[in-house]
Structure 1
Amino acid sequence: MATQYANDIPFSASHDQQAFKLLELPPELLSLLESEHPPTLTITSSKATETTSGYALLCHGDKKYQMRQKNTSNPIMILAPSRTMPTESDDAETFISSPSVTTISKIEDTIELILQEAEVKAAPKNKWHEKFAKSRAEKKK
């Protein structure tokens, strides 16, 4: 009689988990990277402003992608093929190893890329408030 355990695959977790980050690529960048002549990619830092701190940018040519970390509630496990090893209760001489899988990393966040539009030149500052304050000061004299 067959049971649900007839074709089980042993699973284990490595004590030395490796660090991985998954990068979510937009379709147009993926097709460029899979092309015959893929572009060179660089990672730089954006300029910090008064309202924002700098952030990482993935660049190629004139295109820039902001790199953002997204957390996920369901971790992704990276698996590697392995083989079962004898335990203390097994006879090492007669033990037959079988294929298994081992998790080598648990990824709980991914990096998404957001295409940055061309930088908009700063609009000239409105000097109205300065003119208003100056005229009020002159009226008080």
Structure 2
Amino acid sequence: MLSTQEANKGIPLHHAPSGTGYKLLELPPELLALLESDDPPTLRLEPSPTAGLLKTPDNKTWSLRQKNTSNALILLQAAEQGGLDAVATVHDTTELVPEAEAAAAPIVAARGKWHERFGKTR
């Protein structure tokens, strides 16, 4: 008969970084549908003065924006000896914003804490 401690072992988790850097990309539904279609287009990454741009052959354009998060995302894979290996930790994702929407959004300059608290009343 198994003791309670042996029965509640759970899933073994091992720290096994792969050395590979991962970037997560959030795809808008429209772009996901294009990529999953029977004839997916070839996409181009191009530089711009404010951000990278992702373009399709029919000139649809998205700006790439990095989003940082305080909650890390841990990428797991099945371990050879059983359990799971934590192969990477990701602290940011890249989102794609349609270029017309990105151009309309104001760019807010970062300001110090003093200005955030007292600058609005001046």
Fold shared per TM-score above 0.5: yes
* Aligned sequence identity (%): 39
Letter in 2 for 1:14: A
Alignment of 1:1-141 (within 5 A): 3=4, 6=7, 8-46=10-48, 48=49, 54-60=50-56, 61-84=58-81, 99-117=82-100
Larger radius of gyration: 1
Hey, what's the Cα distance between the residues in 1 that align with 2:23 and 2:90?
Answer: 7
Match of 1:107, SS?
strand
Give the root-mean-square deviation of aligned CA atoms.
2.2
Hey, what's the Cα distance between the residues in 2 that align with 1:4 and 1:36?
Answer: 52
Aligned pairs, number:
99
Hey, what's the Cα distance between the residues in 2 that align with 1:27 and 1:116?
Answer: 15
Asked if structure 2 preserves the Cα contact closer than 8 Å seen for 1:17 and 1:106, the reply is no
Q: Which structure has the highest helix share of the two?
A: 2
Asked if structure 2 preserves the Cα contact closer than 8 Å seen for 1:45 and 1:55, the reply is yes
Asked if structure 2 preserves the Cα contact closer than 8 Å seen for 1:14 and 1:104, the reply is yes
Hey, what's the Cα distance between the residues in 2 that align with 1:62 and 1:4?
Answer: 60
- What is the TM-score of this pair, normalised by structure 1? 0.63
Aligned-residue offset at 1:70: 0.2
Aligned-residue offset at 1:18: 2.2
- What is the TM-score of this pair, normalised by structure 2? 0.72
Match of 1:83, SS?
coil
Gaps of 5+ in 2: 104-122
Gaps of 5+ in 1: 49-53, 85-98, 121-141
